[in-house]
Structure 1
Amino acid sequence: MKLEDKLKEYFQLTQFRGGQKETIASVLNHRDTLAMLPTGTGKSLCYQFAGMLLEGTVIIISPLLSLMQDQVEQMKMKGEKRVVALNSFLTPGEKQRVLKRINQYKYIFISPEMISMTHILEIFQRMKICLFVIDEAHCISQWGYDFRPDYQKLGKIRQKLNNPLTLALTATATEEIRKDIKRSLNLENVEEIIYSVDRPNIAINIEELAHTQEKMEKLLANIQALDGQGIVYFSSKKLAEQTVAFLKERASKRIMAYHGGMSQEDRILVQQQFQAGQLDVICATSAFGMGINKEDIRFIIHFHMPTQLESYLQEIGRAGRDGNQSVSMVLYTPGDEWIAYQLIESELPDELQINKWKALLRKYRTFDDWMKNESYQLQMLFSEIQWRVLESYIEPKNKSMEELWHSLELYCKFREERVKVKKQKIQELIAWLHSETCRRKYIMEYFGEKYKSKRKEKCCDRCGLELSDFFQSKNNRQDMPQVDWKEQLAFILNIKK
């Protein structure tokens, strides 16, 4: 069987992208496979293709609702009707109907949280699973940039499903994290398909600016000049919203915000408008992007620096999926790293929060007793994400206070080590921002690759990149409305006159 013939038959494509054919061939040879393929190279085709040639159901573990919905909708548009996403988008009635006819589906997308539910797992145990796919597999590693505690349970779930043929997919994982993925999933004789993290069609530009006001002025100039659609990443929901208001007044572009504080309906609407080309620029937090499979995004701008090189690569990987030239920009001002440090410190409950909780727990015999009487305290002590991580780590249900105390001690040690590692990641990214060497060479060596290319054109700012190559021609630009934008900027940045 020639895989290229099947590729044309199933997907109307004439050739595979880098790593796709090797990954598919490994799975069809019934080898557990870990594939690290660059963002934008079509990892989803690997399990869709293999599923068509394997007998049984393909289960795909996915971390985000938006990512699942996007994949399901795209597969349906291409003619695959035997696909469904089991998630909170379904009403109770819809969920029951899906579960009743679960064997009719070839591809089932599901979150790690939902597959952990006893009744769901029991249904899957009765099914013939031909392929168990873990998308964004770096979420398994507690040292990864996007650790999800529920991902760490997938090894045990895989065992309960009788260790089906497994495909773990990621775009950014160091050798250490790849080892963590294999260990957590209990993959022993695993085939590794490791491709370069380099995206040669994405130019890299870092610009250091004196202060935030200058950074905002530079963002405005770039937004107005750059050709095509793009994403601007922020660490702050509030600043993303305020910047949208500022840019709408000044730039002749269609701009909207996207972040986790918006309603689910509003997020879906913005995503669909961007996909359809009805918006030019999205000012977003990192919540935006993983559900986007848009080929012609031309630029990514980081208004706030990411917390590590892995997340930077993941986010710029939204651009240039059509293979055409795109650009990534980081606007850096000295002190930006403190925002990243604050994000890391607030990500997990700290010792002060834990001690406050302990004080409330003391008068009860078990965690369950406390929950019956004072569960309302949780939302005052921890954010939703903080509690989800903490609960997953300590597993408090049915524990005595003595057992819970021991679990909390272990958690505090885990948090201390994780914060230490993540601070080191920030320092590594700062070193990259200040390095004099080629940006691309630095990244590739960070991931253990040898940099062989000697090209200079459209590589990075250290190699003579001309940003004007990515600007619209003056003839195509629209005149900007005349407003007192400096006054507005001062208001946004709380600058007193």
Structure 2
Amino acid sequence: MELEVALQKYFGYPSFRQGQKEVISELMQGRDVMAMLPTGTGKSICFQLPAMLSPGVTIVISPLLSLMEDQVQQMRSEGIKSVVAINSFMNRDERDDVLRRLHSFKIIYISPEMLQVAYIQKRLSQLKIAYFVVDEAHCISQWGHDFRPDYLRLGDVLERLGHPPCLALTATATPAVQEDICERLKMTEPSKRIYSVDRPMISYRVEHCQTAEEKIERVKELVRTLNGPGMIYFSSRNWAQTCARLLKKDGIDRVAYYHGGLSTEDRLLIQQQFMNGQIDVICCTSAFGMGINKKDIRYVLHFHYPTELESYVQEMGRAARDCKPSVAILLYSEEDRGLARMLIEGKQISDDQLRQLLVEINQLTEWDSRVEKMLMERVGCHEIALRAILYQLEIRDVLIHDQIKRFSVDSMYTSIREFWQNHFYHKKAKLEAFERWIETKQCRRQALLTYFSEELLTRPDECCDRCGATLARFLVNQEGHEKEPLKPWKEALGELCGQSEWVRQ
């Protein structure tokens, strides 16, 4: 079957987007592929279509449980039922049932943490594996912007599964991160399909505000005047909820907030209402966006800026998936600098905490999740820091299959402290690079591409505020149109579950 015919059959698309066919063709030829495609260009098709066309099972490593669930539900809604996500949302009976039927699925989504479970690895090794896919592959690199220690073990898992063709996918990776990904996944002469991070249909804009109160007023003004739908990113759950409440208080009703602390049911409801056009504005944290395939987002605002350009490119790249003009606006005040540094430092571990942690671990003989929770509470360190240090103990042959060998606390402290300081300095350097981009007097698009070692070949008409772009073309048509009223949540959830009549009764 020709690839275009298969694309239409399984997903209803008449043609491929840039890079998709090339990645798919090389993967189906049995090659390892490192692919970087911009946010919103359909990276998931690059593994979903080969999975449907090839014998065996495709394993997809994904960092977010909500992202896995979203992609599974989306495929099932398209009539593709042979897909499953193995995650902590399942109860034991559900998981056991899925593990018994693994051979019946074409695509298995799984988190890197769940993939470390010995029994799951054993069951997967008994299957014919067509492809091994690492989504959000920048997480595997210690130089990536969302470093996840559990990703570092994927190269060994891939080897134990016989090294089927491997596809590493990301939207944002510098050349150094690309090389690190290929090395850590032990790729064999990988094909590199690297496409520009530029999104020419998105106009970039930074606006300086004096205070948070001034930013709130500017958000209200922008939401009233910009053509939507839109997204507003915040650094905390509390800010997302507060701003949504203030917008509603100001008479803007079709607003909701979204963050990782919501229940699965609430997240599902809000996503579907946003997708269906019943909500115009989402006030959210970075937890929202991955896997949300809404094509008509016209603006993305940042009330707080993230700590690196890579995250910013991914978040603002959720606009303009339909290739129509959109705008990304970052609101900036001097007091944001302290907040950004707090976000970085909050995931660090102090010298005293590191020594205490090593002393505690050296008194143990074996490791399990209960010990992990107890140590985090006792030492007061962030989960990310703890897992990074545990990985350092693994590669130093101290933590082996949950068994702990005795070690010299002083020498281990010196070694790991050096690693952690390098990691912290790298995070600070990324933040400083982002802040230079905010303050640049040059073309923002060129400055962003330079960070990713690219050149700007063609400057779009509405490039950025430094190039004279304005908001005029993004403002609401004064004639407007009547919007569908937001439905009560029970009725909306009932329709989503196919039970609208039952809910109304």
| TM-score of the superposed pair, with normalisation by structure 2 | 0.89
Mapped pair 1:390 → 2:389: yes
Letter in 1 for 2:262: M
| Alignment correspondent of 1:494 | none
| Alignment correspondent of 1:439 | 444
**1:387: how far off?**
3.2
CA distance 1:257–1:388, shift in 2 (3 Å): farther
| Alignment correspondent of 1:12 | 12
CA deviation digits over 1:330-369, x for unaligned, max 9? 001123122111111111322232244456x39x743549
Farther off after superposition, 413-422 or 348-357? 348-357
Letter in 2 for 1:257: Y
| Alignment correspondent of 2:303 | 303
Structure 2 gap ranges (5+):
483-505
SS of the aligned residue for 2:97 comes to: helix
| Alignment correspondent of 1:350 | 350
CA distance 1:392–1:460, shift in 2 (3 Å): same
Write the mapping of 1:64-463 to structure 2, written as runs, cut at 5 A.
64-357=64-357, 361=360, 365-368=363-366, 376-380=374-378, 381-395=380-394, 396=399, 397-402=402-407, 406-455=411-460, 457-463=461-467
Letter in 2 for 1:458: E
**1:243: how far off?**
1.6
Farther off after superposition, 247-256 or 192-201? 247-256
Mapped pair 1:471 → 2:475: yes
**1:143: how far off?**
1.1
Distance between the aligned counterparts of 2:116 and 2:358, measured in 1? 28
- CA RMSD after TM alignment: 2.3
SS of the aligned residue for 2:292 comes to: coil
CA deviation digits over 1:400-449, x for unaligned, max 9? 44256654443322221111111111111111111121111111122111
Letter in 1 for 2:467: C
| Alignment correspondent of 2:50 | 50
| Alignment correspondent of 1:490 | none
Provide the aligned length of Structure 1 versus Structure 2.
475
Letter in 2 for 1:459: C
Farther off after superposition, 238-247 or 127-136? 238-247
Distance between the aligned counterparts of 1:80 and 1:60, measured in 2? 16
| Alignment correspondent of 2:497 | none
CA distance 1:348–1:367, shift in 2 (3 Å): farther
Letter in 1 for 2:232: V
Farther off after superposition, 290-299 or 306-315? 290-299
Distance between the aligned counterparts of 1:232 and 1:373, measured in 2? 38
CA distance 1:370–1:66, shift in 2 (3 Å): closer
Distance between the aligned counterparts of 1:470 and 1:236, measured in 2? 27
CA deviation digits over 1:151-202, x for unaligned, max 9? 1100000000011111111110010000000010001310001111111111
CA distance 1:409–1:56, shift in 2 (3 Å): same
User: Is the contact between residue 337 and residue 426 of structure 1 (CA under 8 Å) also seen in structure 2?
Assistant: no
SS of the aligned residue for 2:252 comes to: coil
SS of the aligned residue for 1:112 comes to: coil
Farther off after superposition, 243-252 or 130-139? 243-252
Farther off after superposition, 235-244 or 311-320? 235-244
CA distance 1:433–1:251, shift in 2 (3 Å): farther
Distance between the aligned counterparts of 2:275 and 2:98, measured in 1? 28
User: Is the contact between residue 358 and residue 409 of structure 2 (CA under 8 Å) also seen in structure 1?
Assistant: no
SS of the aligned residue for 2:299 comes to: strand
**1:136: how far off?**
0.6
User: Is the contact between residue 211 and residue 335 of structure 2 (CA under 8 Å) also seen in structure 1?
Assistant: no
CA deviation digits over 1:13-60, x for unaligned, max 9? 221100001101111221111111111101111111112222111111
CA distance 1:177–1:245, shift in 2 (3 Å): same
CA distance 1:13–1:123, shift in 2 (3 Å): same
Distance between the aligned counterparts of 1:90 and 1:35, measured in 2? 31
Distance between the aligned counterparts of 1:251 and 1:434, measured in 2? 34
**1:73: how far off?**
0.9
CA distance 1:8–1:304, shift in 2 (3 Å): same
Large movers: runs of 4+ above 6 Å: 369-375
Letter in 2 for 1:466: T
Farther off after superposition, 323-332 or 276-285? 276-285
**1:371: how far off?**
9.7
Distance between the aligned counterparts of 2:237 and 2:142, measured in 1? 25
Letter in 1 for 2:436: A
Structure 1 gap ranges (5+):
479-497
CA distance 1:271–1:411, shift in 2 (3 Å): farther
| Alignment correspondent of 1:481 | none
Letter in 1 for 2:386: W
CA distance 1:340–1:104, shift in 2 (3 Å): same
Identical-residue share of aligned pairs (%): 43
Letter in 2 for 1:329: I
CA distance 1:438–1:114, shift in 2 (3 Å): same
User: Is the contact between residue 135 and residue 170 of structure 2 (CA under 8 Å) also seen in structure 1?
Assistant: yes
CA distance 1:404–1:41, shift in 2 (3 Å): farther
Letter in 2 for 1:471: L
| TM-score of the superposed pair, with normalisation by structure 1 | 0.90
CA distance 1:378–1:282, shift in 2 (3 Å): same
